[in-house]
Structures are given as C-alpha cells and as structure tokens.
Amino acid sequence: MNTYNKTVLKYFKNPKNLGEIKNPDATGTVGNPVCGDVMKIYLRLDKTKNRIKNIKFQTMGCAAAIATSSMITELAKGKTLKEARKISNKDVASKLNGLPSLKMHCSNLAASALKQAIDNFERKE
C-alpha cells in the first residue's frame, strides 16, 4: 500500500496556487494515460525580467499528482524561465520529503508540465 508522508498530505489537502489564470502568457498540459492523471500549469510572466510573476495549476488525479503540482508552482514562482526550467522531478519529490516509488511519475508530470509551459511561451515570443 502507498502511504503518503505529512508533507505530501499537507500539499494535497491545502494545495498552493490552485486555479486558473485568465489569459495566461503560457500553459502546459500533460497527462499519463496509464493512471489518468492530467496536469495543467498556467504562467503569467514579468516579461521585462523574463520571470514567473504568477503560476497556477489545475490537476485531476491522485493525492501525489495534486501535491506535486502544488509544489512545482511553489518552486517556480519568482524564478526566471531559465531557473524554472532546471527544476527537476527529483527537486519536487525532495521538497515533498519523498514520494512512494509507485507515485514518482507524478513528479515527472509536474516537471514536464512546467517545462512545456515555458517551451510554449518561448515559441510564441
């Protein structure tokens, strides 16, 4: 059985940056067809500094999917796009004090959604 630690449960029960940004500068959406998790990241940028001014997420999935989505937004907020691009799934899992091995794919999805949003922004510019 997968058991979640207190940090994961905290971010699942009280996620940070949950919601949608109207008219975002960029979005990234990823999903895992095996487990059914879907994550969408919204970015609002301070374009003069190429910095993430606001970031939100919407996730359909398990506790780990919601917790990792919340954590990636916490880690990325205020960072430059270059700094945010370097945030890895291991960074997300580490800040959550670990994930059950069967749930590590959630941290991959969160990091991928952020990178996709950054890629989508850079393609538009």
| Domains defined along the chain, listed by start | 6-124 (3.90.1010.10)
Active site residues: 35, 106
Please determine, for residue 44, whether its predicted confidence score (pLDDT) is greater than 60.
yes
Q: What is the pLDDT of residue 2?
A: 60
Among 84, 85, 30, smallest CA distance to 57 is for: 30
In this predicted model, what pLDDT tens digit does every residue of 2-17 receive, in sequence order?
689 999 999 999 999 9
Q: What is the pLDDT of residue 12?
A: 97
- Tokens representing 88 are 């890895």
**In the block, residue with structure tokens 């905290």:** 10
Q: What is the pLDDT of residue 58?
A: 97
Q: Is 98 helix (H, G, I), strand (E, B) or coil?
A: coil
